Amino acid sequence: MDRLWITAALAGAEVTPQEQPHLPLTADDLAAEAARCREAGAAIVHLHVRDAEGRPTQDRAAFAAAIELIRRRTDLIIQVSTGGAVGMTAAERGQPLALRPEMATLTCGSVNFGDGVFLNPPEVIEHFARTMREFGVKPEVEVFDAGMVANALNLVKQGLLDPPLHFDFVLGVPGGMPASAANLVYLAGLVPAGSTWSVAGVGRHELSLGTMAIAMGGHVRVGFEDNIYYRKGELATSNAQLVARMARIGRELDRPPATPDEVRSALGIG
Ligand code: KMH
Ligand code: ZN
Protein backbone atom coordinates (compact mmCIF):
# COMPACT_ATOMS: atom_id res chain seq x y z
CA MET A 1 0.00 0.00 0.00
CA ASP A 2 0.98 3.62 -0.48
CA ARG A 3 2.82 5.67 2.04
CA LEU A 4 0.67 7.33 4.68
CA TRP A 5 -0.35 10.97 4.31
CA ILE A 6 -0.63 12.58 7.73
CA THR A 7 -2.46 15.89 8.01
CA ALA A 8 -1.96 17.96 11.14
CA ALA A 9 -5.02 20.03 12.07
CA LEU A 10 -3.24 22.29 14.52
CA ALA A 11 -5.89 24.44 16.14
CA GLY A 12 -9.28 24.57 14.40
CA ALA A 13 -11.77 27.25 15.32
CA GLU A 14 -13.59 25.82 18.30
CA VAL A 15 -10.95 24.63 20.77
CA THR A 16 -9.87 27.13 23.44
CA PRO A 17 -6.58 27.50 25.33
CA GLN A 18 -8.57 26.83 28.50
CA GLU A 19 -9.36 23.36 27.16
CA GLN A 20 -5.90 22.71 25.65
CA PRO A 21 -3.10 24.88 27.09
CA HIS A 22 -0.71 23.96 24.26
CA LEU A 23 -3.07 25.22 21.55
CA PRO A 24 -1.04 27.22 18.98
CA LEU A 25 -2.73 30.59 18.49
CA THR A 26 -0.29 33.08 16.96
CA ALA A 27 1.44 32.82 13.58
CA ASP A 28 4.69 32.08 15.42
CA ASP A 29 3.08 29.34 17.51
CA LEU A 30 1.45 27.81 14.42
CA ALA A 31 4.73 27.80 12.49
CA ALA A 32 6.67 26.27 15.38
CA GLU A 33 4.02 23.60 15.83
CA ALA A 34 3.90 22.94 12.08
CA ALA A 35 7.68 22.41 12.09
CA ARG A 36 7.40 19.92 14.96
CA CYS A 37 4.62 18.09 13.11
CA ARG A 38 6.70 17.92 9.93
CA GLU A 39 9.55 16.44 11.95
CA ALA A 40 7.12 13.89 13.41
CA GLY A 41 5.84 12.77 9.98
CA ALA A 42 3.13 15.18 8.79
CA ALA A 43 2.94 16.12 5.12
CA ILE A 44 -0.04 18.50 5.18
CA VAL A 45 -1.02 21.21 7.64
CA HIS A 46 -4.73 22.07 7.87
CA LEU A 47 -4.74 25.72 8.83
CA HIS A 48 -7.11 27.90 10.85
CA VAL A 49 -5.87 31.15 12.36
CA ARG A 50 -6.91 33.37 15.27
CA ASP A 51 -6.97 37.12 15.85
CA ALA A 52 -5.02 38.95 18.56
CA GLU A 53 -7.68 37.99 21.11
CA GLY A 54 -7.48 34.31 20.16
CA ARG A 55 -10.81 34.33 18.31
CA PRO A 56 -11.14 32.43 15.00
CA THR A 57 -10.74 34.68 11.96
CA GLN A 58 -10.60 34.15 8.21
CA ASP A 59 -8.81 37.44 7.69
CA ARG A 60 -6.57 37.23 4.67
CA ALA A 61 -3.65 39.06 6.29
CA ALA A 62 -3.78 36.80 9.34
CA PHE A 63 -3.56 33.76 7.04
CA ALA A 64 -0.77 35.38 5.02
CA ALA A 65 1.30 35.91 8.17
CA ALA A 66 0.94 32.30 9.31
CA ILE A 67 1.54 30.89 5.83
CA GLU A 68 4.70 32.91 5.41
CA LEU A 69 6.17 31.65 8.68
CA ILE A 70 5.17 28.04 8.01
CA ARG A 71 6.74 28.23 4.53
CA ARG A 72 9.91 29.67 6.01
CA ARG A 73 10.24 26.78 8.45
CA THR A 74 8.82 23.79 6.56
CA ASP A 75 8.01 22.29 3.17
CA LEU A 76 4.55 21.20 4.36
CA ILE A 77 1.57 21.41 2.02
CA ILE A 78 -0.55 24.20 3.46
CA GLN A 79 -4.27 23.55 3.34
CA VAL A 80 -6.33 26.56 4.38
CA SER A 81 -9.75 26.19 5.91
CA THR A 82 -12.70 27.66 4.04
CA GLY A 83 -14.96 26.37 6.82
CA GLY A 84 -13.82 28.91 9.37
CA ALA A 85 -16.15 28.91 12.35
CA VAL A 86 -19.91 28.32 12.51
CA GLY A 87 -21.76 31.56 11.76
CA MET A 88 -19.18 33.15 9.47
CA THR A 89 -20.37 34.31 6.05
CA ALA A 90 -19.13 32.69 2.85
CA ALA A 91 -17.36 35.92 1.89
CA GLU A 92 -15.48 35.90 5.19
CA ARG A 93 -14.61 32.23 4.89
CA GLY A 94 -13.26 32.45 1.35
CA GLN A 95 -10.67 35.16 2.01
CA PRO A 96 -7.54 32.95 2.27
CA LEU A 97 -8.15 31.48 -1.21
CA ALA A 98 -6.82 34.68 -2.78
CA LEU A 99 -3.42 33.76 -1.30
CA ARG A 100 -3.34 30.82 -3.70
CA PRO A 101 -2.50 28.15 -1.11
CA GLU A 102 -1.72 24.69 -2.45
CA MET A 103 -4.88 23.22 -0.91
CA ALA A 104 -8.11 24.28 0.76
CA THR A 105 -11.07 22.53 2.31
CA LEU A 106 -14.38 22.31 0.45
CA THR A 107 -17.25 21.11 2.63
CA CYS A 108 -19.87 19.68 0.31
CA GLY A 109 -23.04 20.17 2.35
CA SER A 110 -24.60 21.63 5.47
CA VAL A 111 -24.58 19.90 8.84
CA ASN A 112 -25.62 20.57 12.40
CA PHE A 113 -22.44 21.34 14.33
CA GLY A 114 -22.85 21.18 18.10
CA ASP A 115 -25.40 23.84 18.94
CA GLY A 116 -25.02 25.57 15.57
CA VAL A 117 -25.36 24.84 11.87
CA PHE A 118 -22.37 24.70 9.54
CA LEU A 119 -24.06 26.15 6.47
CA ASN A 120 -22.91 25.14 3.01
CA PRO A 121 -25.75 25.66 0.55
CA PRO A 122 -25.17 24.66 -3.09
CA GLU A 123 -24.32 28.19 -4.27
CA VAL A 124 -21.61 28.53 -1.61
CA ILE A 125 -20.05 25.16 -2.46
CA GLU A 126 -20.09 26.01 -6.16
CA HIS A 127 -18.63 29.46 -5.53
CA PHE A 128 -15.75 27.99 -3.50
CA ALA A 129 -15.15 25.28 -6.12
CA ARG A 130 -14.98 27.91 -8.89
CA THR A 131 -12.69 30.15 -6.83
CA MET A 132 -10.35 27.25 -6.06
CA ARG A 133 -10.12 26.43 -9.73
CA GLU A 134 -9.47 30.09 -10.59
CA PHE A 135 -6.64 30.30 -8.05
CA GLY A 136 -5.18 26.86 -8.78
CA VAL A 137 -6.01 25.48 -5.32
CA LYS A 138 -6.52 21.71 -4.86
CA PRO A 139 -9.73 21.10 -2.91
CA GLU A 140 -9.94 18.58 -0.10
CA VAL A 141 -13.59 17.52 0.02
CA GLU A 142 -14.69 17.65 3.67
CA VAL A 143 -17.38 15.11 4.45
CA PHE A 144 -19.37 15.37 7.68
CA ASP A 145 -22.22 13.19 6.44
CA ALA A 146 -22.69 10.65 3.65
CA GLY A 147 -24.68 12.87 1.27
CA MET A 148 -21.67 15.13 0.95
CA VAL A 149 -19.81 12.47 -1.05
CA ALA A 150 -22.67 12.37 -3.56
CA ASN A 151 -22.69 16.18 -3.70
CA ALA A 152 -18.97 16.20 -4.53
CA LEU A 153 -19.43 13.59 -7.26
CA ASN A 154 -22.24 15.74 -8.71
CA LEU A 155 -19.84 18.68 -8.83
CA VAL A 156 -17.54 16.51 -10.94
CA LYS A 157 -20.47 15.83 -13.30
CA GLN A 158 -21.18 19.56 -13.47
CA GLY A 159 -17.54 20.18 -14.36
CA LEU A 160 -16.81 22.14 -11.18
CA LEU A 161 -14.40 19.64 -9.60
CA ASP A 162 -11.65 17.70 -11.34
CA PRO A 163 -11.07 14.07 -10.43
CA PRO A 164 -9.23 12.42 -8.85
CA LEU A 165 -10.76 13.91 -5.70
CA HIS A 166 -9.28 13.83 -2.23
CA PHE A 167 -11.86 13.35 0.55
CA ASP A 168 -11.54 13.85 4.29
CA PHE A 169 -14.18 12.11 6.41
CA VAL A 170 -14.71 14.08 9.61
CA LEU A 171 -16.57 11.66 11.86
CA GLY A 172 -17.95 12.28 15.33
CA VAL A 173 -18.96 15.96 15.21
CA PRO A 174 -22.15 16.25 17.30
CA GLY A 175 -24.82 16.60 14.60
CA GLY A 176 -22.74 14.91 11.90
CA MET A 177 -22.05 11.31 10.99
CA PRO A 178 -21.02 9.31 14.07
CA ALA A 179 -17.47 8.01 14.36
CA SER A 180 -17.97 4.30 13.87
CA ALA A 181 -16.02 1.63 12.04
CA ALA A 182 -19.11 0.77 9.97
CA ASN A 183 -19.50 4.38 8.86
CA LEU A 184 -15.87 4.63 7.80
CA VAL A 185 -16.12 1.41 5.78
CA TYR A 186 -19.33 2.70 4.16
CA LEU A 187 -17.82 6.08 3.23
CA ALA A 188 -14.59 4.58 1.90
CA GLY A 189 -16.74 2.36 -0.34
CA LEU A 190 -18.25 5.47 -1.96
CA VAL A 191 -14.88 6.82 -3.07
CA PRO A 192 -14.33 6.29 -6.80
CA ALA A 193 -11.27 4.38 -7.98
CA GLY A 194 -8.28 6.67 -8.31
CA SER A 195 -9.51 9.14 -5.68
CA THR A 196 -8.00 9.22 -2.18
CA TRP A 197 -9.34 9.74 1.33
CA SER A 198 -8.37 10.41 4.89
CA VAL A 199 -10.25 10.25 8.17
CA ALA A 200 -10.44 12.72 11.03
CA GLY A 201 -12.06 11.00 14.00
CA VAL A 202 -13.25 13.39 16.67
CA GLY A 203 -12.07 12.90 20.25
CA ARG A 204 -11.10 9.37 21.25
CA HIS A 205 -12.09 8.13 17.79
CA GLU A 206 -9.10 9.87 16.27
CA LEU A 207 -6.86 6.97 17.24
CA SER A 208 -9.18 4.05 16.44
CA LEU A 209 -10.44 5.37 13.10
CA GLY A 210 -6.99 6.59 12.13
CA THR A 211 -5.58 3.13 12.75
CA MET A 212 -8.41 1.60 10.73
CA ALA A 213 -7.73 3.99 7.86
CA ILE A 214 -4.08 2.97 7.81
CA ALA A 215 -5.08 -0.68 7.53
CA MET A 216 -7.66 0.13 4.83
CA GLY A 217 -5.29 2.06 2.59
CA GLY A 218 -6.63 5.50 3.51
CA HIS A 219 -4.88 8.44 5.12
CA VAL A 220 -5.15 10.19 8.47
CA ARG A 221 -5.76 13.61 9.98
CA VAL A 222 -4.90 14.24 13.62
CA GLY A 223 -4.51 17.33 15.79
CA PHE A 224 -6.12 19.58 18.34
CA GLU A 225 -8.88 20.67 15.94
CA ASP A 226 -10.34 17.18 16.28
CA ASN A 227 -8.92 15.85 19.54
CA ILE A 228 -7.04 17.40 22.46
CA TYR A 229 -6.21 14.19 24.36
CA TYR A 230 -3.39 11.72 24.03
CA ARG A 231 -5.40 9.11 25.89
CA LYS A 232 -8.39 9.13 28.24
CA GLY A 233 -7.88 11.78 30.90
CA GLU A 234 -4.46 12.84 29.57
CA LEU A 235 -4.19 15.96 27.44
CA ALA A 236 -1.75 15.77 24.52
CA THR A 237 1.35 17.89 24.99
CA SER A 238 1.48 18.94 21.34
CA ASN A 239 -0.01 18.22 17.93
CA ALA A 240 3.31 16.62 17.07
CA GLN A 241 2.78 14.01 19.78
CA LEU A 242 -0.42 12.93 17.98
CA VAL A 243 1.30 12.97 14.58
CA ALA A 244 4.22 10.92 15.90
CA ARG A 245 1.88 8.21 17.20
CA MET A 246 0.18 7.88 13.80
CA ALA A 247 3.57 7.79 12.08
CA ARG A 248 4.66 4.97 14.42
CA ILE A 249 1.49 2.98 13.77
CA GLY A 250 1.89 3.58 10.05
CA ARG A 251 5.44 2.23 10.09
CA GLU A 252 4.30 -0.85 11.99
CA LEU A 253 1.61 -1.47 9.34
CA ASP A 254 4.02 -0.95 6.44
CA ARG A 255 2.65 2.51 5.68
CA PRO A 256 5.53 4.84 6.59
CA PRO A 257 4.71 8.54 6.41
CA ALA A 258 4.91 10.24 3.01
CA THR A 259 6.89 13.43 2.55
CA PRO A 260 5.08 16.58 1.40
CA ASP A 261 6.66 16.22 -2.05
CA GLU A 262 5.43 12.64 -2.35
CA VAL A 263 1.90 13.84 -1.54
CA ARG A 264 2.26 16.75 -4.00
CA SER A 265 3.16 14.37 -6.76
CA ALA A 266 0.27 12.00 -5.90
CA LEU A 267 -2.18 14.91 -5.87
CA GLY A 268 -0.72 16.44 -9.01
CA ILE A 269 0.06 19.77 -7.33
CA GLY A 270 3.19 21.87 -6.85
N1 KMH B 1 -14.88 24.83 12.13
C2 KMH B 1 -15.89 24.10 11.44
C3 KMH B 1 -17.21 24.80 11.56
C4 KMH B 1 -12.94 23.31 7.56
O5 KMH B 1 -11.90 23.63 8.13
O6 KMH B 1 -13.10 23.46 6.35
C7 KMH B 1 -15.59 23.87 10.02
C8 KMH B 1 -14.26 23.33 9.68
C9 KMH B 1 -14.12 22.76 8.32
O10 KMH B 1 -13.33 23.33 10.45
ZN1 ZN C 1 -10.95 22.90 9.91
pLDDT digits 0-9 by tens, 46-79: 999 999 999 999 999 999 999 999 999 999 999 9
Domain CATH number, residue 75 = 3.20.20.70
User: What mean pLDDT is predicted for residues 101-113?
Assistant: 98
Cβ-proximal residues to 160 (8 Å cutoff; 6+ apart), any chain: 126, 129, 130, 133
Report the share of the chain in percent with pLDDT over 90: 99
Asked whether 58 lines ligand 1 (CB < 6 A), one says: no
pLDDT digits (tens, 9 = 90+) for 127-169: 999 999 999 999 999 999 999 999 999 999 999 999 999 999 9
The per-residue b/e assignment along 152-170, b for 16 or more CB within 10 angstroms, e otherwise, is bbebbeeebbeeebbbbbb
Pocket of ligand 1 contains residue 107 by CB under 6 Å: yes
Helix axes of 205-216 and 181-190: crossing angle, nearest 10 degrees: 40
Residue 218 pLDDT: 98
Looking at the chain, the whole-number percentage of residues with pLDDT higher than 70 is 100
Structurally, how many domains does the chain consist of? 1
pLDDT digits (tens, 9 = 90+) for 7-42: 999 999 999 999 999 999 999 999 999 999 999 999
- Name the pTM for this structure: 0.98
pLDDT at 178: 98
Q: Is 223 in the pocket of ligand 1 (CB under 6 A)?
A: no
The pLDDT assigned to 270 comes to 82
For ligand 1, is residue 110 a contact (CB within 6 Å)? Answer: no
What per-residue confidence (pLDDT) applies to 265? 97
Q: What does pLDDT average to over the chain? A: 98
Rounded mean pLDDT, 84-110: 98
Most informative mutation of 142, 167, 171 for ligand 1 (most atoms within 8 A of CB): 142
Cβ neighbours around 3 below 10 Å, total: 17
Query: Rounded distance, CA 58 to CA 140, Å?
Result: 18
Is residue 241 a part of any domain in this protein? Answer: yes
Residue 120 CB less than 6 A away from ligand 1: no
Backbone angles phi, psi at 16, to 5 degrees: -115, 160
**pLDDT value at position 66?**
98
Is residue 121 in some structural domain? yes
In angstroms, what is the span from residue 252 Cα to ligand 1's centroid? 31
pLDDT mean over 192-213: 98
Q: Is residue 54 part of a domain?
A: yes
Q: Which tens digits make up the pLDDT trace of 253-265?
A: 999 999 999 999 9
Range of the domain at 96: 6-267
Distance 179 CA to ligand 1 centre (A): 17
Q: How confident is the model at residue 243 (pLDDT cuts 50, 70, 90)?
A: very high
Residue 1 pLDDT: 66
Assess whether the C-beta atom of 118 lies below 6 angstroms from ligand 1. yes
Is residue 81 within 6 Å of ligand 1 at its C-beta? yes
Interval between CA 85 and ligand 1 midpoint (Å) = 6
Q: Note whether residue 242 is domain-resident.
A: yes
Does residue 1 sit within a domain?
A: no
Q: Does residue 134 fall inside a structural domain?
A: yes
Asked if omega into 178 is within 30° of 0 (cis), the reply is no
Over residues 85-107, the mean pLDDT reads 98
176-199 pLDDT, tens digit per residue, is: 999 999 999 999 999 999 999 999
